[in-house]
Structure 1
Amino acid sequence: MIWIIIIGAMLASALVSWTLKSKFEKYSKLGLSSGLSGREIAELMLADNGITDVRVISTPGRLTDHYNPADKTVNLSESVYESRSAAAAAVAAHECGHAVQHARAYSFLKFRSAMVPALTFASRYMQWILLIGIFALQATPLPLAVGVALFALTTLFSFITLPVEFDASKRALAWMDTRGVVTTQEHGMAKDALKWAAMTYVVAAISSLATLLYYASLLFGRRD
């Protein structure tokens, strides 16, 4: 049963990833009526929220956009930074949504940020500990138990990420609508793009939970 869920999550992940890329490619070709670039959208949203200590910079790659709370930078991929499209507006505003969360001390973002040091450790050693735990299970359950605990931490992180991402998109769409930087049609495209981006996190969380249950079933001797 668990394997069916894992395989289903993998297929769903591939489908969501393909749909996301397809949506962004489509919406990236449609020029924004306001003529604003991703960088200008980001700077405008930050200014409207009274945020003056966050820089908007360009970062290499595609779909590599992110907000870094450590150095307070909104990092926009090259395809978003100078692009003047509905897709670029959606991504830029979403990442600024994270900056607004940081400035407003949004609880879920604070919780997720506090988990990062432990998550870094878990991600570095978890797979090795799980592998050792599986081979040593007949002798001692301790290594696998440690591995399951570390995996549970990464799974919790995946689920804590969900409200953070959904809230950032909600802030972005509300601001774009209020500010009037997009038309009704462009707002719909931005909403659609962000919905599919959020779905990647949903699928990742479900997949992580299914994998955690698999390892837990090995630990407790209830392998399907």
Structure 2
Amino acid sequence: MAFSWILMIVIFGLSAFVSWRLRSKFNEYSQIGLSNGMSGAEVAQKMLNDNGIYDVRVVSVEGMLTDHYNPEEKTVNLSADVYYGRSVAAAAVASHECGHAVQHKLAYGPLKLRSAMVPVLTVSSRYLQWVLLAGILLLNTTPLPLAIGVALFALTTLFSFVTLPVEFDASRRALAWVQTTGVVNQREYGFAKDALWWAAMTYVVAALGSLATLLYYASLLMGGRRSD
């Protein structure tokens, strides 16, 4: 159990560092104007068109780094800084989100799996914290509630790891497209690649954090069983 706590502390520290680094990189590359003068919205629309995708809308949403692709509504949602921005950061983020739209069109396996898991996780997330709490409180009486909680949390952890290839592949598609189409020059390409790498690291740390938490609850469960 001590190992689980140490691991969680390390992951928490890494998460804080990566989040800070991502915001720092985004702010830095937001100050570097794109040589072709395109906005994030224009970059996104061009990438969609170049990939034969005409049924996906590019829309602006509130917040910072709230960019995402919604496969159900078929929208590429870009934060205002990205949607209106004419920077390397805006181009990198916009093309990355369009990478998910390309995955959707091509029925990319990991994306299909992640999308199929969403309804189950939406329901389980409503009760997960209460099941885990009940499991801890009743552990000396019965291990069943905590066992159920661990099983539900395992699904969350699995989802985090399924997300990794989806995010890395979207960045790969984005970088390949911005380079081959000349949306960015060689110098800007390096900046875009760096920005997307740090963005990907947030998902890696999140997956490791979820795994560490799962191991913690699993150790509680195993400890409780041994004491019976």
Verify same fold: TM over 0.5.
yes
For 2:223, what is the secondary structure of its paired residue?
coil
Which runs of structure 2 are paired with 1:114-129 in the superposition (5 Å)? 114-129=116-131
Which runs of structure 2 are paired with 1:50-199 in the superposition (5 Å)? 50-199=52-201
Unmatched segments (≥5 aa) in structure 2: none
For 1:89, what is the secondary structure of its paired residue?
helix
1:217 equivalent in structure 2: 219
For 1:104 and 1:110, the matched residues in 2 are separated by: 10
For 1:57, what is the secondary structure of its paired residue?
strand
AA matched with 1:194? L
**1:28 aligned to 2:33?**
no
1:8 equivalent in structure 2: 10
Once the two structures are superposed, what CA deviation does each residue of 1:63-101 show, in whole Å capped at 9, x if it has no partner? 000000001000000010010000000000000000000
Once the two structures are superposed, what CA deviation does each residue of 1:118-172 show, in whole Å capped at 9, x if it has no partner? 1111211101100000000111111001100010000000000000000000000
For 2:197 and 2:135, the matched residues in 1 are separated by: 38
For 1:62 and 1:19, the matched residues in 2 are separated by: 15
**1:205 aligned to 2:197?**
no
For 2:38 and 2:191, the matched residues in 1 are separated by: 16
For 1:132 and 1:121, the matched residues in 2 are separated by: 18
For 1:221, what is the secondary structure of its paired residue?
helix
The TM-score normalised by the length of structure 2 is 0.97
- Deviation, 1:2, is 1.1
For 2:66 and 2:211, the matched residues in 1 are separated by: 25
For 1:34, what is the secondary structure of its paired residue?
coil
For 2:187 and 2:124, the matched residues in 1 are separated by: 43
For 1:176 and 1:165, the matched residues in 2 are separated by: 17
For 2:95 and 2:126, the matched residues in 1 are separated by: 32
For 1:74, what is the secondary structure of its paired residue?
strand
AA matched with 2:143? P
Once the two structures are superposed, what CA deviation does each residue of 1:174-200 show, in whole Å capped at 9, x if it has no partner? 000000010101000000000000000
For 1:220, what is the secondary structure of its paired residue?
helix
2:46 equivalent in structure 1: 44
For 2:125 and 2:175, the matched residues in 1 are separated by: 33
Aligned pairs, number: 223
For 2:218 and 2:25, the matched residues in 1 are separated by: 37
The TM-score normalised by the length of structure 1 is 0.98
For 1:204 and 1:182, the matched residues in 2 are separated by: 30
* Regions of 4+ moved over 4 Å: none
